[in-house]
Homo-oligomer: A and B are copies of this chain.
């Protein structure tokens, strides 16, 4: 925050005087992503904010993917620090899941970024936390990977989708309730014989709360573990 304020002061000058740093670039990228979405992150716009040329960034960052991973990791790392694992294993899983959900809600671009960097640090941070709770739940050893992986897939899957929805709504300049009613209206106009469910679920869909539904899914999987 204060770093971003400092940068704005610097922006009023033609050219920066101090040296660039990788962290500085990443922070400015996060700011830019939050303000103008994934499409808004260009090396041109970023270098202008940093009061330098686009080539300068490449001294500190390998390429755009590297930049996105780093930005993503900064958000995930912060989220992990904020959601400590101090409760029962199930409570910890819920807390972690909600933490990721809220982080993607606040930074929609994180959703899609996480999906394009499997196995890299940000994802491993989440995987680690889930896996530790599964151990604590005494999940059978040979089921540890599939169970942990199911949670990870679900959490990232929902996150990705919500992020995409939010970015889509922003691009079109629509708010959430407008999008919901547009979609459900579309469903209602589908063929009655082929799409009875989609037509009938419209009202529930229009009124649904993403965060609560997300938690329902987490609890379904947690419930499934008990019946294994």
Contact = CB atoms under 8 A, between A and B. Distances in A.
B165 A157 contact: no
Q: How many copies are assembled? A: 2
Task: Indicate the member of A112, A128, A156, A168 with the most B CB atoms within 10 Å.
Answer: A128
Interface residues of A, number: 59
A221 interface: yes
Interface in A104-150: 112, 115-116, 118-119, 124, 127-128, 131-132, 135, 142-150
Given A197-B135, A227-B226, A154 B115 contact: no
Nearest to A118: B165
B216 A164 contact: no
A124 to B, nearest CB: 5
A6 interface: no
Nearest to A223: B224
A128 B183 contact: no
A217 interface: yes
Nearest to A160: B115
A128 B217 contact: no
Interface of A: 112, 115-116, 118-119, 124, 127-128, 131-132, 135, 142-150, 153-154, 156-158, 160-161, 164-165, 168, 179, 183, 186-187, 190, 194-198, 201, 204-205, 208, 212-214, 216-217, 219-228
Given A124-B187, A124-B190, A145-B204, 17 more contacts: A115-B164, A119-B183, A128-B195, A128-B197, A131-B198, A142-B204, A145-B205, A145-B213, A146-B216, A146-B217, A148-B197, A148-B201, A153-B157, A153-B158, A153-B214, A219-B224, A220-B224
